[in-house]
Amino acid sequence: MHIVIIAGGAGSRLWPVSREAHPKPFIRMEDGLSLLQKTYRRGQAAGSVESVTTVTNRELFFRTEDDYRELAPSEPLHYLLEPFGRNTAPAVAAAALELQRRYGDDALMLVLPADHLVQDEAAFAQAVAHAAEAAAEGQLVTFGIQPSHAETGFGYIELADTASSGQAQRVVRFVEKPSRELAEEYLAGGRHLWNSGMFCFRAGSVLEELACHAPGLLQAVTETLAAARRSEGEGHTVAHLCAERFGAVEEDSIDYALMEKSRRVAVVPCELGWSDIGSWQAMAELVAPDANGNRLIGEVELEDAHNCYIHSRNRLTAAVGVEDLVIVDTPDALLVAHKDRSQEVKKIVQCLKRNGSELHEHHVTVHRPWGTYTVLEEGEGFKMKRIEVKPKASLSLQMHHHRSEHWIVVRGTAKVVNGEQEILLRTNESTYIPAGHQHRLENPGIIPLVMIEVQSGEYLGEDDIVRFEDSYGRC
């Protein structure tokens, strides 16, 4: 089995926890694991796994690698890095071509979205075993979830006969998100399943069907892969897809491009405790309610409140005399919405983009390949940051035109290039870097380096960086 994890999308319905630079796959659940980590672990436990390939945006590579390394510090990993999103059909096609190149036509692919939740992993492993049998015979297999209620937010898969858990069954057709009346008919009829977006097939089989039903898309992806820049790092291989070639690839989902057209499609009906966590209302359903129907995460005090979901990890949230609300608090943004309109949160994200706000993209704490920085305070002409550098990691050799910086070490040891000097700074020691000076920060130690950076100048934007050398290829 070859696991293919598709880690795309912004998860804008889960703003303000999900941001473009911290999308839904990186959201941590109550057990401390991210959705991406849960997907990786679930795939590894589903059978005998020969390889793991992740298709994601190139800007998320280091975050993805960090999440995986928490679980599997030495496992070999493969990446296909997209310069921008083109939906799932190009992602699956690229992964299939890559697996065909490495392992041949018979490479069995298990394709998993990185941002779904499956709570019954034993049932999932059993469903994968059934899917693998059908896929080995050349079928394109999807996983259909037995509906628990009349859901209008999912696509459906229609079967020829009543769904029964176990063996793969023939698919009659895929159905778009239905009206409430149709969804209730589907639930009562027993021949419709939720479309989970998970798949299993041979690399050769899916490429044969793409050549038949989406030849232009397949050819464009083939040319993009041929032009990819390839690199190897410690425990991973990476194919950086060419932006110019990838821009010519048609944007389409694997459902529309292939699954709805092929006659080789089968579905395994299953009950997995599955959720695509597509809204805060869906997230709320994962939390047990109290006596008043409230579902709470973090420090919350309530008085005469009913049927609310409140997510407040960073400070106390109090509510009096309210009901049917979603309240999500983060250090830099607060969401208050009626629970029946939680799908509309994406409209707020669209407004933020139109208004030029960075709140759709970053949290207060921003992740970088070398560690993180947190903006503590900023005002006209100054900005204060907390910087944490991973052991043995370093920032680029760089220079700023418009700002000077003062660095103060609060934990660990810093190796600093400041102009012509190279110095070691320990706790309570500092250095001043004038504008125009080349400089570099490195953590030579085995514990995280923590520093306070005070910037001053006429312009303090993150784009005022001229890089001369960089360990992460960002020059």
Q: Percentage of the chain with pLDDT > 90?
A: 90
Is the same domain home to 7 and 143?
yes
Of the listed ranges 164-173, 298-307, 363-372, the one predicted with least confidence? 164-173
pLDDT above 80 for 98: yes
Q: How many domains does the chain have?
A: 3
Residue 474 within a domain: no
Q: How confident is the model at residue 475 (pLDDT cuts 50, 70, 90)?
A: low
Same domain, 99 and 147: yes
Q: Structure tokens of 207?
A: 């490429």
Is residue 394 in a domain? yes
**280: in domain:** no
Give yes or no: residues 89 and 191 share one domain: yes
Residue 455 domain-assigned (yes or no): yes
CATH number (domain holding residue 39): 3.90.550.10
Q: Are residues 186 and 232 in the same domain?
A: yes
Q: Is residue 236 part of a domain?
A: yes
User: For residue 316, what are the CA distances in angstroms to 16, 309, 327, 330, 333?
Assistant: 17, 14, 12, 11, 14
| Within a domain: 282 | no
3 state DSSP class of 213: helix
Say if CB 375 and CB 34 are below 8 A apart: no
Please indicate, yes or no, whether residues 268 and 297 belong to a single structural domain of this protein.
Answer: no
Domain boundary (323, 353, 383) is at: 353
Residue 160 has pLDDT above 90, yes or no: no
Q: Residue 45 corresponds to which tokens in the numbers above?
A: 């436990």
Query: What does the pLDDT average to over 345-349?
Result: 96
Pair (335, 417) in one structural domain: no
Place of tokens 């109290």: 290
Residue 8 has pLDDT above 90, yes or no: no
Rounded to whole angstroms, the Cα distance separating 284 from 280 reads 6
- What pLDDT is stored for residue 391 in this prediction? 96
Together in a domain, 176 and 197:
yes
Given a cut of 90, whether residue 108 has pLDDT beyond it is yes
Residue 31 buriedness (CB in 10 A; 0-12 / 13-18 / 19+): exposed
pLDDT for residue 269: 95
Out of 218, 253, 275, a domain closes at 275
Query: For 364-375, how does the pLDDT look when each residue is reduced to its tens digit (9 = 90+)?
Result: 999 999 999 999
Q: What is the pLDDT of residue 11?
A: 76
What whole-number distance in Å separates Cα of residue 220 and Cα of residue 242? 11
Q: What is the pLDDT of residue 167?
A: 82
How many CB atoms within 10 Å of residue 463? Answer: 5
> In terms of residue numbers, what domain contains 331?
287-353
Check: CB of residue 26 under 8 Å from CB of residue 33: no
Would residue 74 count as lying in a domain?
yes
444: CATH: 2.60.120.10
How many CB atoms lie under 10 A from the CB of residue 247?
Answer: 12
Is the same domain home to 374 and 313?
A: no
Length of the chain: 475
Which residues pair with residue 467 across a beta bridge?
398
234 CB contacts (<8 Å, ≥6 apart)? none
Model's pTM, two decimal places? 0.92
Beta strands 439-442 and 371-379, pairing class: unpaired
Q: Which whole number is the average pLDDT over 266-282?
A: 93
**Residue that terminates a domain, selected from 297, 332, 353:** 353
Same domain, 198 and 163: yes
Question: Which tokens in the block code for residue 368?
Answer: 């970088």
With a cut of 90, say whether residue 47 has pLDDT above it: no
Among 122-136, 161-175, 304-318, 420-434, the minimum mean pLDDT is found in 161-175
Do both 327 and 405 map to the same domain? Answer: no
Give the pLDDT score at 9: 74
Residue 164 has pLDDT above 90, yes or no: no
Q: Judge whether 281 lies within some domain.
A: no
Check whether residue 8 and residue 126 sit in a common domain.
yes
- Domain identity same for 349 and 263: no
Cβ neighbour number for residue 307 with a 10 Å cutoff? 15
Beta bridge partners of 270: 145
Q: Give per-residue pLDDT as tens, 236-249.
A: 899 999 999 999 99
- How many CA atoms does the CB half-sphere of 356 hold within 13 Å? 0
**75 — pLDDT class (breaks 50, 70, 90):** confident
Whether pLDDT at 195 is above 70: yes
Distance separating alpha carbons of residues 44 and 1, to the nearest angstrom: 9
